[in-house]
Structure formats: structure tokens, C-alpha cells
Structure 1
Amino acid sequence: MKSKLLGSILLVAGSSIGGGMLAMPITSAGVGFIGISLLLITIWFAMCYTALLMVQVYRYNTPDDGFDTLTKKYLGSVGNNTAGISLLFLIYALTAAYISGGGSLLTAQLHQWLSPDLDSRWGALLFTLIFGGVVAISTQWVDWFSRILFLIKIVFLLLLLVILLPYVRQGNLLQLPLEQGLIFTAIPVVFTSFGFHGSIPSIVKYLNGDERKLQQAFVFGSLLPLFIYLLWQFVVLGSFDQSTFMGLLQHNMGLEGLIVSIREMSQTPLIRDAFNIFAATALGTSFLGVSLGLFDYFMDWTRSKKNLNNRFTVSLLTFVPPLIFVLFYPQGFILALGYAAIAGVVLALLIPTFLFVKAMQYHQVKIPVWQYAILGFLVVLAVVIIGSQLWVALF
């Protein structure tokens, strides 16, 4: 069980540390280190707390019950359909973002190894076949691969931190937001950087509903990304003057902009290779975590027996739609992450909150007043995040 607990912690952390972390400095460049740190801590608390709410709900249910079963039981058809649509939209969007990012990195390597004229869509297809195949086999395989990739990811993250640390300046860390509205552009991406909730039923099943182990998995599994995010923001935002960083990002969009910015600042070729390996493993672990949640949701939804044919069918449902999106919108990395935030708010904040309240009422368990205050805060935060994404989309 200790081995499974460690695997679950790394699965939670690995699901979070991925595309959102890579996009975070891009969207928060004009916000400043102090502002983004406060935002990270606030959203971490909300996401960790709702995961613990789900653990309390599972106290009265079996570990095999998925989101579809729980929402149907406690929230009725409306809540069940809302949760289902939100889960599909969120994980499809996140999966598409990770296929887009991972496919871009893989395509760059294929151009070096094979031919510069190779169609860029081959990278996305190969990335999906490799990592989607791991998810389709079993949760145990996802656990093993996540551990290996997570270890590689941490090693190269530490290497990046060591390379960038000498460039950190106190003045850069103390800079205030360049514009008041910039904080709203960062909120959706920061929120999706803690996107592990789709994997909660899979982890509950994997740990056989052990409440203590589940609490440890979600607390430590979410604290690890928070600590890493703060370090990452410290070295990246501390190494750049805001105006210079914003200027570089305007000329080079997406991941390439971050790579170019770091390379020009550090003047060392090692940084590009280290960042590419870190980015690839980060996208890989996130893809494994979020797509596992969708895969198990379809298994629960279809009530299929876990034979080869059914797992193949569920695999098609899980991976084909986001792959099609990436093939038609190959540069949709940031776009997919941004719109994932709206569905993520419903799935990770609103559904667990209302599911907990309804479950406690159903089982006649009294909710303390202080807990109602926290639940109210979660609802307010959900409204703010949705409003931020709509503001970004419209303005």
C-alpha cells in the first residue's frame, strides 16, 4: 500500500505539473512574483480542499463508484449531465493541449532525426499512440510510467533552476503588475495548473477507498506542485525585467517564446535542451493523469466489462476527439488551456461542493458553520475564475 500511496501522490502531482506550468510564466509575466504567488496559494487551497470533500463523499460509497455514479445518486439527472459534460470538455481540452504541446516538441525532434519536411501532425499522432497506449493498458502502467517521467522531470527542473538562479534579481521579484487587468489573464491558466480532479475516482479505486491514504495522496500530491510552481516562478520572473520579458513574448508566442526568452537571457545552449526534456516529461505526466480520469469515466459510464474489446472502444472515445482538434488546430496549446478553465471550475470547484452538501444531507450528517463559510468562498472563487476567462476571451 505504501508503494501505491507514493504512486498516487506522484500521479496527483504529475497530473498537475504539465502544460499549465509551462504556460504560467507566459501569462503571468506582467503580474509579478508577489501577485502570482498569492494567486497560486489561494487556488491550491481551493483545489486541495475540494479533493478532500470528495474523500468524505466516498466515505459513504464504494471505491468503484465514479463521477457518473456519484452525481447521478446525489445531484440527479441535471447535476449528472452537467458533471458529465464538464468532465468531457475539461479533459478533452487538457488532453488536446498536452497533445499539442507534446506533439510540437516531438515534431521538432523528428525534424532533426528524420526530415525537416516531415508533416508536423506526425508528432501529435505519435505522442497520442505512445502515451494513450499506456493509459489503455492499465492504471498500474500509468503509475510506473508516471514515476519514471516524474523523476526525469524533477531532475531537469532542478537543472533549470540551477542554471537560472544566478540571474534572479530582487528588483524583478518586487515588480508590481504592469496593468491592473493582467491578473485576470493569469487566473485561468494558474487554475488549470492544479487540474488533477478528473483522476480522483481512479485514485480512490487504486487505493481501495482508504480514507487516510487518500487524504495524504491529495494533500501531499497537491503541495508538491505548489512548491515547484513557486520555485519556477521565482527563477523565471526573478530573472527578467517585466518590460523586456513581455516584449520577447509578444514576438514569440507560446512555448517557443518562453524558450527564446530564457535562451537569450542565459546565453547557453544547455538551457534549450534541458527545457525541452523537462517540457516533454511534464506534458507526458499530465497527459497520463488527465486522460486516465477520462478513460475511467467512460468505463464507469458504459458499465463495460474490462476486456480487450471494450478497452479498445473506450480508448477511441478518449483519444480520438482531442487528437482531431490538434490535427486541425496544431497551435491550440494556450487556447485549449484557457477554455479548459471554465469546465474545470464546474468539475473541480462547483460539483465537489454541491456533491458534498447533498451527500451530507442524504446521509443526515450536519455540516459545521465554519465549513459552510469555506464552501461559500469556493463558490465565489468559481465565479471569479469563470468571469476572468470570459473577460480574456472577450477583451
Structure 2
Amino acid sequence: MGTQLRASAHPQSYSFHMRTNTSRTWTWNHQQGVAIYLKAKIDYCSCSAPVRHWRSYVTKANHSTEQLKDDFISTPTKKKKGTVVGAVALIVGTSIGSGILALPKKTSPAGFIPSATSMVLCWGFLLIEALLLTEINVNIRRRMKKREDEDKLEIISIRTMAQETLGTWGGNFATINYIFLAYTSMVAYTSKAGEILSRVINLPASLSGILFTIIFTTLISFGGPRFTDQINQWLTASMIGLLVAIEVIGASSGAWSELMSISNWDKVPGTVPVIIFSLVFHDLAPVLCTYLGGDLARIRVSVVVGSLLPLIALIVWDAVALSLSPLADGIDPINMLMRVNWSGVATMVQVFSLLAVGTSQIGTLLGFSQFFLEQLNFLTSRSTSKQMKEVERKQRALFGLKDWWGDNKTSFTAMAMAVAPPLLVSTSVPDAFSTATDIAGGYCMAMLYGVLPPAMAWAMHGKSYDDGGGGGEITLYKVKPALIGVGLLSCGILLEQLLQDLSFLHL
């Protein structure tokens, strides 16, 4: 599920960061080749009403990055809207990421036909959820336009959506799920990076993972969003190019006649978490709604086309990988792909794998660290007056390095809070990548992007939202049976994952 508007945060990596009408920062990430970093400044009036000022940094994997930056930074949404092509590119970049590395190993026991069927069904399920999110987001945007100047209305995060529809508990539920998702994603990235890098530099996997994470932590901490943006663009473009090349080379070396030899439908449930992890792009939904100016028709086209292309890429990738090892039970097909009799394929696979993990990690780290930074700044602002801060700043200015540390210690502390726990877990838990992707896809994403959207839509049932022209309303109640269906399916995914984990623990 690698890279990244491309921040949004996905964890990269699509990841985005924003502050809403509360004192908290909200960040969403996903495994991805595109990352979005949205930074909002909130000034509090004496009446405690937040005034929002937005800055946006957009990172993506194609040549139109600078145009997207202009769309978000300098031009109000109603004056300059994005394009369907741009929105599709964002979704594709977000969906293709580190989850693709875990896919063949998880689908191998089931076989190609069952796993491909599972991918299509999961795609349909996630498509409905994404369309629900965009519908809810646009409805809330239209209602907020009554209360605020349209020029000031910016991205409405999933946390804000949950709080607007479900109340405070909904916002808190989304927040907790996000933190858990970000931590499990970071564990997955660190573990997989260590496994791959250890083959290249001959260091233990645990040390390699720490080294890999430190590199990107340093990049973000000292390079800043703009430099990180430029690096991520190059990494993402390279990753997608390598993916296409590997699929073409692998297709010419596969044993296609044996691809259909395995068909274990009872193994299909075990493939669902990693497929969800690989196909989720739902953290982009609020960004897409703003980028396309709340135009539901264009948003729907973008979501359908943008989600379909990664599905095709994943099915082809899975077919190529499984064709190389249809009968090699227990062997990771990625390892078989690296043994293809073609000069340079092993190197290409290793570089692609590192790029997939790296782009995902950039988005997650950028968004997650900013989330903690906001919380620390909020706590500090409550305990220290402006006058005291100014006195301390002037005192630090006399000591050079101390002044630099005083200005940046909160940022470094926030980064440490985002990085330290995943490093500890990834170095102490064997095969943490596989376990973390199961947890992220089977629990966190299933709740955040599975259970939450129909619950929000249900809460909006019976409420009327003016469409902006005073001529009607959007009636979500018409899809009430679908809400029940996807809600039950989401609960089923959670229950199935829980039963699998309990059976694994022999409880």
C-alpha cells in the first residue's frame, strides 16, 4: 500500500499534514511514491476561535509537481481547479509503494486466480469506501461555505470529517487509528529496508534498517520540506520506471503454463490485509476534493480511473512473481525474481525495493513528525508565555549553537517520537515487515477507511446540505443498503484478521 500528493503523509508515500478547527494537527499517510505535506498555522483569538492560514508542499512523481504546488499554495480553489489527469497521477503515485513487496509472498499459497479475484473484490470494496469519503467531504465543504469565506475554505481532513459527523469521539477515534497506523507502517518500512540493505552492505538486518531510517530522518530534519520534495520526486519517478522494466523482463522468464497450477481458495482471507495495504489511497480523498474544487463528477472519474491503474499494475506484478515460483511453497517470489537469468535484474529488484520503501517512509516520517510537533508546540504554548519565549530567544542568541538547538529541539524531539518506537520494535521482532503490514491493513486501515466512512455517511442520514445553489440536496440515504453492506464487510475483515491472529497464537 509505496510513495506519495504525494503526505499526505499514507505513512509517503502519500502523507499529508494539516491543522483543523481544533488545537491539534492532523496528518495522514500511506505507503506510497508521492507525499503531501500540508502545514497550517492557527492563530487563536481571545474567543478561542481558530483562524486558519495554510501553506502547502506537494510532492509527487511526475512533471506536473510545480503546477500542483501553485494550485494549492497561491490560488484559491474556486479560481483555479486541478485536472482529472493530475488527480489520477496522484492516486497512482500514492498506491504504488512498499506494499507491493509483501504481495507475492502473501498471495503465493492461494495461487494466482484466487489472489487476483481477491484483489478485484478488495478494489471494489475500497472504491466504494473512497467514493463515500469524497461524497461526505464535499457535503461538509458545502455546509462550511455557509459559515466561512469560500476563499479561506481549504482541505477538510478525515479527522475533521469524523468530528463533524460523529462528534468528538469520532475525531478521537480517527486520531488514535492514525497514530497506530503510522507506527505500524514505520515498523514495516524499517524492517523491510533492513532486510534488503543487509544483502548489499553485509551488515545485520537490524543495523541496516536503523541506518536506512537515519538517512531519511536526517534528510527531513535538515533538508526541509522543499528539498525533501525534490528528492522524493526523483525517487518516485525512478521507482515506477524500474517497476515497468522488471515486469517486462520477468514476463519473458516466467513459467506461465504452471501459473494456474495452484488454486487454494481457503487461503484467500490471508491475502486481504496486504492487498488493502497495497491499494489504499484514501488519505488522498480530502486533497482530491479540494484539488478538483468539490466537483463530484470529476472526483468520481478520478477515483475510478486512478484506482483501476494500480490494480492492473499489482495483478501484473503478482502474475510475474508467481510465474517464477508457482510450486515453491514458502519461498518469497521476490527472491526468485532476483535470480532471473538476466543481467542486472537482481540489482534492479533491490533498487526498486529500496525506492518503494524509501518513498513510503518519507511521506510517513514527514507527516507523523509534524503531527507530534504540533502536539509539543501546543503543550509548550500553554506553559510558556510569549514574553518568556522572547527573553529566552534573545538569551540564546548570545551563544550561537545553543540558539540553534533552542530553536530546533522541539522538531528533533518530535522526530524522535516518530522514529524511536518503530526502530525498537523492528529490531526486536522477527519478520516485522509481514506482521506490520497485516496489522496496518487488517486492523488500522480496515477501521479508518472501512468502518469509519459508512459510519460517517450513516450519521449524515436525514441531514440536508444545500448544494451551493439553493436548489437541492445530496441524499446519502439512497445508498443505505450499500452502507450496511460495506460496514458489515469491514467488520468481517477485522474479525477474520482477529481470528487468524488468535489461531496463530494458539489461543
Q: If the length of structure 2 is used for normalisation, what is the TM-score?
A: 0.64
Residue 323, structure 1, aligned to residue 414, structure 2: no
Deviations 1:331-374 (A, max 9, x none): 31101111112111000111122223324655555535652233
Q: 1: CA distance between counterparts of 2:249 and 2:280?
A: 28
Moved more, 230-239 or 215-224: 215-224
Residue 387, structure 1, aligned to residue 495, structure 2: yes
| Residues 14, 286 of structure 1: 8 Å contact kept | no
Matching residue of 2:263: 177
- How many residues are treated as equivalent by the alignment? 375
Deviations 1:25-70 (A, max 9, x none): 1111122222222221222232233233323333224434433333
Q: Name the aligned partner's letter for residue 278 of structure 2.
A: S
Deviations 1:171-227 (A, max 9, x none): 33433523x4211111111111123334555x3598496556765664444333212
Counterparts of residues 237-256 of structure 1 (less than 5 Å): 237-241=322-326, 244-247=327-330, 249=331
Counterparts of residues 210-289 of structure 1 (less than 5 Å): 211=295, 218-241=303-326, 244-247=327-330, 249=331, 257-264=332-339, 266-268=340-342, 270-289=344-363
In structure 2, do the counterparts of structure 1 residues 123 and 270 end up closer, same or farther at CA, with 3 Å as the change threshold?
same
Residue 72 (structure 1) shift: 2.5
Q: 2: CA distance between counterparts of 1:134 and 1:327?
A: 22
Residue 384 (structure 1) shift: 2.8
Q: 1: CA distance between counterparts of 2:427 and 2:314?
A: 30
Q: 2: CA distance between counterparts of 1:72 and 1:303?
A: 22
The SS at the match of 2:261 is coil
Q: Name the aligned partner's letter for residue 328 of structure 1.
A: S
Q: Which of residues 173, 188, 198 in structure 2 aligns to 1:107? A: 198
The SS at the match of 1:245 is coil
State the identity %: 24
The SS at the match of 2:109 is coil
Deviations 1:146-191 (A, max 9, x none): 432222112222222122212344433433523x421111111111
CA RMSD of aligned residues (A): 3.4
Q: Name the aligned partner's letter for residue 352 of structure 1.
A: P
Q: 1: CA distance between counterparts of 2:443 and 2:482?
A: 21
Matching residue of 1:335: 435
| Residues 324, 336 of structure 2: 8 Å contact kept | no
Q: Name the aligned partner's letter for residue 450 of structure 2.
A: L
| Residues 87, 198 of structure 1: 8 Å contact kept | no
Q: 1: CA distance between counterparts of 2:289 and 2:376?
A: 17
Matching residue of 2:393: none
More helix by share: 1
In structure 2, do the counterparts of structure 1 residues 391 and 93 end up closer, same or farther at CA, with 3 Å as the change threshold?
same
The SS at the match of 1:92 is helix
| Residues 199, 292 of structure 1: 8 Å contact kept | no
Matching residue of 1:252: none
Residue 36, structure 1, aligned to residue 115, structure 2: yes
Q: Which runs of 5+ in 1 are unaligned?
A: 112-117, 250-256
| Residues 11, 146 of structure 1: 8 Å contact kept | no
In structure 2, do the counterparts of structure 1 residues 260 and 171 end up closer, same or farther at CA, with 3 Å as the change threshold?
same
Greater relative CO (CA pairs within 8 A, separation 6+): 1
| Residues 7, 143 of structure 1: 8 Å contact kept | no
Q: Name the aligned partner's letter for residue 165 of structure 2.
A: Y
| Residues 169, 239 of structure 1: 8 Å contact kept | yes
Matching residue of 1:253: none
Deviations 1:237-294 (A, max 9, x none): 23333xx2215x2xxxxxxx33432345x34463321110111111122223444454
In structure 2, do the counterparts of structure 1 residues 292 and 210 end up closer, same or farther at CA, with 3 Å as the change threshold?
farther
Residue 121 (structure 1) shift: 3.4
Q: Name the aligned partner's letter for residue 283 of structure 1.
A: V
Q: Name the aligned partner's letter for residue 109 of structure 2.
A: G
Residue 80, structure 1, aligned to residue 80, structure 2: no
Matching residue of 1:374: 482
Matching residue of 1:254: none
Q: Name the aligned partner's letter for residue 230 of structure 2.
A: W
Residue 230 (structure 1) shift: 1.3
The SS at the match of 2:329 is helix
Q: Which of residues 423, 442, 446 in structure 2 aligns to 1:345? A: 446
| Residues 58, 209 of structure 1: 8 Å contact kept | no
Q: Which runs of 5+ in 2 are unaligned?
A: 1-57, 59-63, 69-81, 142-152, 381-406, 466-472
In structure 2, do the counterparts of structure 1 residues 10 and 323 end up closer, same or farther at CA, with 3 Å as the change threshold?
farther
Q: Name the aligned partner's letter for residue 114 of structure 2.
A: G
Q: 2: CA distance between counterparts of 1:293 and 1:372?
A: 34
Q: Which of residues 184, 204, 207 in structure 2 aligns to 1:122? A: 207
| Residues 52, 218 of structure 1: 8 Å contact kept | yes
The SS at the match of 1:233 is helix
Counterparts of residues 61-72 of structure 1 (less than 5 Å): 61=141, 62-72=153-163
Q: 2: CA distance between counterparts of 1:170 and 1:188?
A: 26
Q: Which of residues 93, 98, 101 in structure 2 aligns to 1:19? A: 98
Matching residue of 1:90: 181
Moved more, 43-52 or 357-366: 357-366
Q: 2: CA distance between counterparts of 1:384 and 1:311?
A: 40
Moved more, 69-78 or 288-297: 288-297
More strand by share: 2
Q: 2: CA distance between counterparts of 1:196 and 1:314?
A: 25
| Residues 25, 237 of structure 1: 8 Å contact kept | yes
| Residues 72, 80 of structure 1: 8 Å contact kept | yes
In structure 2, do the counterparts of structure 1 residues 310 and 224 end up closer, same or farther at CA, with 3 Å as the change threshold?
farther
Residue 58, structure 1, aligned to residue 133, structure 2: no
Matching residue of 2:248: 162
In structure 2, do the counterparts of structure 1 residues 394 and 205 end up closer, same or farther at CA, with 3 Å as the change threshold?
same
Q: Name the aligned partner's letter for residue 355 of structure 2.
A: T
| Residues 458, 480 of structure 2: 8 Å contact kept | no
In structure 2, do the counterparts of structure 1 residues 384 and 103 end up closer, same or farther at CA, with 3 Å as the change threshold?
same
Residue 149, structure 1, aligned to residue 218, structure 2: no
Q: 2: CA distance between counterparts of 1:199 and 1:293?
A: 13
